[in-house]
């Protein structure tokens, strides 16, 4: 009878060892799963903060040049021209032109020809705020004579249209007005 008891004890020990091993494997799987979940969350948080840092860095690296008075760039502006204008790196001059039923961004090329770049049916006047590497930045206002400092305010909604003389059908909304520091930096350039 004793050999059977020894075998039972061996089976019991093997069963206990097997259960402990199974519990250990389950605990390791749970720990690995938790580590994986923490890694994914951490990667997402780092990625978002990295994107935020990249976006703010890109915005601060964007060189925006505020507009000048239209008379400084256009020798004889039309009476309905906006008060502000900009000149791009190719020598094209952009300014607003307000008619009752249409507001336009006009382009004066090097040969003195005037082209319509973009138009809108807004009831407000169009003003050129500035220029960056890719586009002319403008806004709509009730005013007819806007200073450089007045052109840069968190009260405006800014739009952008690419360079060139070929008519363009749409303008891109810009979120410049939400960046108070950028607006303040551009206003400093006006002085």
Helix, strand or coil for residue 56? helix
Q: Look up residue 2 and give its two tokens.
A: 């004793």
Q: What confidence tens digit (pLDDT) does each residue in 139-163 have?
A: 999 998 999 999 999 999 999 999 9
pLDDT at 120 over 50: yes
pTM value > 0.75: no
Residue 166: partners with Cβ closer than 8 Å, 6 or more residues away: 115, 117
Question: With bands split at pLDDT 50, 70 and 90, how would you rate the model's confidence at 100?
Answer: confident
d(CA 103, CA 38): 54
Token look-up 């601060």 returns 60
Cα R_g (the chain), whole angstroms:
33
Q: Look up residue 164 and give its two tokens.
A: 């060139």
């Amino acid at each position: 009878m004793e050999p059977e008891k020894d075998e039972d004890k061996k089976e019991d020990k093997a069963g206990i060892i097997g259960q402990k091993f199974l519990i250990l494997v389950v605990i390791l799987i749970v720990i690995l799963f938790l580590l994986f979940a923490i890694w994914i969350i951490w990667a997402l948080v780092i990625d978002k903060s990295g994107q935020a840092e990249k976006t703010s860095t890109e915005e601060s690296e964007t060189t925006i040049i505020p507009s000048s008075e239209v008379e400084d760039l256009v020798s004889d502006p039309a009476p309905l021209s906006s008060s502000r204008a900009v000149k791009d790196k190719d020598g094209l001059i952009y300014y607003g032109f307000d008619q009752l039923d249409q507001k336009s961004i006009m382009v004066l090329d090097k040969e003195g020809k005037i082209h319509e770049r973009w138009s809108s049916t807004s009831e407000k006047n169009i003003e050129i705020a500035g220029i960056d590497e890719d586009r002319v930045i403008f806004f709509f206002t009730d005013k007819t004579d806007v200073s450089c400092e007045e052109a840069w305010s968190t009260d405006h909604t800014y739009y952008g249209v690419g360079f060139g003389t070929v008519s363009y059908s749409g303008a891109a909304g810009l979120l410049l007005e939400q960046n108070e520091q950028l607006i303040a930096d551009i206003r400093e350039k006006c002085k």
